[in-house]
Amino acid sequence: MAREIALTPLKWQVGYAESSDAIPGKLAQASVPGAANLDWANSIGMPEWYRDANFTEWSWMEDVFWVYLADIPKQALEQGQSLWLVSGGVDYQYDVYVNNELRYSHEGMFTPFELDVTADMGSELRIAAWPAPKDPLGVKNNSTEAAQCVKPAVSYGWDWHPRLIPVGIWEETGLLIRERGYIKSAEVLYSLSENLDLALLEINASISGEGNARFQLYSPDGLLVVECDADQKPRIENPILWWCNGYGEPSLYSWNVTLYDNGQVLDKSSGRIGFRSITMEMNEGGWQEPYGFPKSRSPVPITLTLNGVPIFCKGTNWVNPEVFTGCIGKETYRPLLNLAKGAHMNLLRSWGGAIVNKDSFFDLCDELGLMVWQEFPLACNNYRGTPHYLGALEPEATSIIKRLRSRASLALWCGGNELFNSWSGMSEHSPAIRLLNSLTYSLDPLRPFLLTSPLNGMAHGNYIFKFEGQEVFQTMPKAHFTAYTEFGVASMSNLEVCLAATDMENLFPFKSNPITRAHHAFGMWGPYDTWSRVDTIKSYFGPEDSLKELIDWSQWIQSEGLKCIYEEARRQKPYCSMALNWCYNEPWPAIADNSLVNWPAIPKPSYFAVADSCRPRLASARIPKFSWNPGETFEADLYLLNDSLEALPPGEVAVSLAFCGKTQYETRWAHNGTEANKNLQGPTVRFLIPKEKLSPDAGSLNARPESKKKYEILTLRLESGPLTNEYRLVLYL
């Protein structure tokens, strides 16, 4: 629900102290919502946290209490009015004092709270946030320290996120005058008939004090379709359905609940409804597996079916767009989500190491037709089922479920990230997983719940172009999974983003140093040069002349690698029904990582490659390798990929191979079209690359006599109107 009346901000100051009930000796101005440690760093003029390795100076801030202070201003209230402190959430464990009296305590950032402060006008309000929680069994300065809290683990340090743990008032918090009657909460749920032609609404409006609540519902085109008392259960016949991006309009009805008393409006709440059914159905061929005996179970059904239509989920893994999550607002989300829609994506996996996003994220996803796979805040740790942990998880998960369950865009819940793998060591026996399954079932029974990702049939990885001598070009066609829910090809960031992270002198010659390591280019996975992977780049191209050249090569590899994976996953439809790369965005200027979009919302070239590969209809080629030599027979298996709900008419695809500045071969594939939502396998084309030495065009950028391997760009082009697609490969000279 949304309140119709905005909160009145308070004038906050913040400082640090040794205990929850102590008053800081020194105070700085605080931004609310925001982060106390960020306020403090700004106030004392610490250098930019996102440059160089400056963030390493912040570690002392993890272990103090951050205390916010504000005066509750005196104001004249009318008869029956009351004054409330209303907060969307404080990160992470905190106590609320009024004039030194403890009035509220909570552990967990996802639960809103409110306090009646009518009798406290003129008093001092204090919110004391405790030090960052750290599991005593965790490794110091490592994300395993997050294993006994419901705080996103990523801020404890990740291979694409600095160790920087935000703390403080992170959601909207302020004062609110309430009338003699008010709406404590309002929510509209519904059930849809099996053939989607009838919706039964359930209006959950909780009223305090006086007044009668009335309900209004408006159709997507703004017509009033229901008006009734809020205790009714209205029926909507033939509701206009909500569809995800690429399959139809994300049509939203809007509702309001208004509290009247003797003709006076006392309070008002509003929200939106997208009518749709979402189920998880078995992937085609899944029930036939495994074959033979001894026989295990079939894969987990993972074909997301929207309004009865099996969707091929093309999407990405969404991570925190900012390190200081309290600073995230709708304008942080908007450009990123617009880009996701523009890349033909329809599903965002909101990864369990990150926050559960703010309401404005879901407002935009509802509007853009971007479905959300929402994980609970568990990732890559063994969240042991201690009474303390389960006691913190239960209310937080309950708050998350209740806040989001009415969202059209929310497609499924998931227990968290990679919990059933060795590095987490959890399983379906883990109490935390059983609790989350129970809570989602009791509070939101119609929405699918995945215990974790991956489950059997599904897969994560790899995250690099070449592993144990195998390129993704070889690995992916051999892979057989129902859903690729994390895969990536690392690359370097755009040049201007690298320069936002540090000065050129730290970047070129490009090598491992404290700055490039801090920004994830080196040393992230043991001794490897993750995520810059310069070894792989140089194995194809030889040494670079400039940072720009290295970045170009790196981003070329990322672009073609991701094209290969997305399109191969699509070629494996309908057994495969999902392709989500790791990852979409990033929270600060990485020098290298897996993102498609640099911080804050700057697309890398791979973004455009992925956007091309995710078009609902396109011609596609399975290509056996990235680099070619003269005398080899180039080959590619051709496909038409069609995820749209319309058949593709018969037509022709012109297939051409170009190198050394011109088209060398051309052939045509005449096809009979394909049904709606079905792919078509076409011919395998083969072209002999001449053995004789190819003469590089004199003007070619790529004629690099000083590099070990001189190369040309080998372009495979499938030309067919809007289906046209192109692959840029390497040809050695």
Q: Give residues in contact with its own copies (CB under 8 A).
A: 279-280, 282, 287-288, 292-298, 300-301, 420-422, 425, 427-429, 431, 434-435, 437-438, 441-442, 445, 448-452, 454-463, 467-468, 475, 479, 481, 484, 487
Decide if 613 contacts 563 (C-beta within 8 A).
yes
Q: How far is the CB of 588 from its own copies (least distance, A)?
A: 26
Q: How far is the CB of 83 from its own copies (least distance, A)?
A: 40
Residue 369 and residue 276: Cα distance in Å, rounded? 12
Residue 605 and residue 716: Cα distance in Å, rounded? 18
Q: How far is the CB of 36 from its own copies (least distance, A)?
A: 37
Q: How far is the CB of 120 from its own copies (least distance, A)?
A: 39
Decide if 131 contacts 64 (C-beta within 8 A).
yes
283-291, long-range: CB < 8 A, 24+ apart: 283/457, 283/482, 283/483, 283/574, 283/575, 283/576, 283/577, 284/574, 284/575, 285/574, 285/575, 286/457, 286/482, 286/575
Which is closer to its own copies, CB of 459 or CB of 497? Answer: 459
Which is closer to its own copies, CB of 194 or CB of 221? Answer: 194
Residue 220 and residue 24: Cα distance in Å, rounded? 51
Which H or E element spans position 323? none
- Judge residue 512's burial from the number of C-beta atoms within 10 Å of its C-beta, 0-12 exposed, 13-18 middle, 19 or more buried: middle
Q: How far is the CB of 477 from its own copies (least distance, A)?
A: 12
Q: How far is the CB of 585 from its own copies (least distance, A)?
A: 22
Which is closer to its own copies, CB of 196 or CB of 390? Answer: 390
Residue 483 and residue 468: Cα distance in Å, rounded? 23
Q: How far is CA 123 from CA 112, 117, 455, in A?
A: 22, 9, 53
**DSSP state letter for 677:** T
Q: How far is the CB of 485 from its own copies (least distance, A)?
A: 9
SS3 sequence of 542-570: CCCCCHHHHHHHHHHHHHHHHHHHHHHHH
Q: How far is the CB of 448 from its own copies (least distance, A)?
A: 5
Six-digit token string for 230 = 């809020």
Alpha-carbon radius of gyration of the chain: 28
Which is closer to its own copies, CB of 192 or CB of 459? Answer: 459
Name the 3-class secondary structure at 717.
strand
Q: What is the DSSP string of 409-470?
A: SEEEEE--BSTTSTTT---TT-HHHHHHHHHHHHH-TTS-EESSBS-TTEEE---SSEETTE
**DSSP state letter for 275:** B
Residue 176 and residue 178: Cα distance in Å, rounded? 6
Which is closer to its own copies, CB of 20 or CB of 452? Answer: 452
Q: How far is the CB of 459 from its own copies (least distance, A)?
A: 3
Decide if 466 contacts 557 (C-beta within 8 A).
no
Angle of helix 359-368 relative to helix 330-342, nearest 10 degrees?
30
Q: How far is the CB of 396 from its own copies (least distance, A)?
A: 18
Which is closer to its own copies, CB of 196 or CB of 282? Answer: 282
Which is closer to its own copies, CB of 463 or CB of 556? Answer: 463
Q: How far is the CB of 206 from its own copies (least distance, A)?
A: 25
Residue 726 and residue 263: Cα distance in Å, rounded? 65
Query: Smallest Cα–Cα separation from 348: which of 520, 515, 581?
Result: 581
Which is closer to its own copies, CB of 483 or CB of 591? Answer: 483
Residue 446 and residue 199: Cα distance in Å, rounded? 14
Q: Would strands 371-375 and 410-414 be described as parallel, antiparallel, or unpaired? A: parallel
Which is closer to its own copies, CB of 435 or CB of 657? Answer: 435
Q: In 152-247, which residue ranges form alpha helices assigned H by DSSP?
A: none
Residue 577 and residue 100: Cα distance in Å, rounded? 57
Q: How far is the CB of 199 from its own copies (least distance, A)?
A: 18
Q: How far is the CB of 313 from its own copies (least distance, A)?
A: 16
Six-digit token string for 515 = 């700055």
Decide if 338 contacts 314 (C-beta within 8 A).
no
Q: How far is the CB of 568 from its own copies (least distance, A)?
A: 11
Q: How far is the CB of 479 from its own copies (least distance, A)?
A: 5
Q: How far is the CB of 613 from its own copies (least distance, A)?
A: 17
**Omega before 454 within 30 of 0, i.e. cis:** yes
Six-digit token string for 183 = 């709406």
Which is closer to its own copies, CB of 467 or CB of 528? Answer: 467
Q: How far is CA 471 from CA 558, 564, 573, 596, 639, in A?
A: 12, 10, 21, 19, 21
Which is closer to its own copies, CB of 3 or CB of 405? Answer: 405
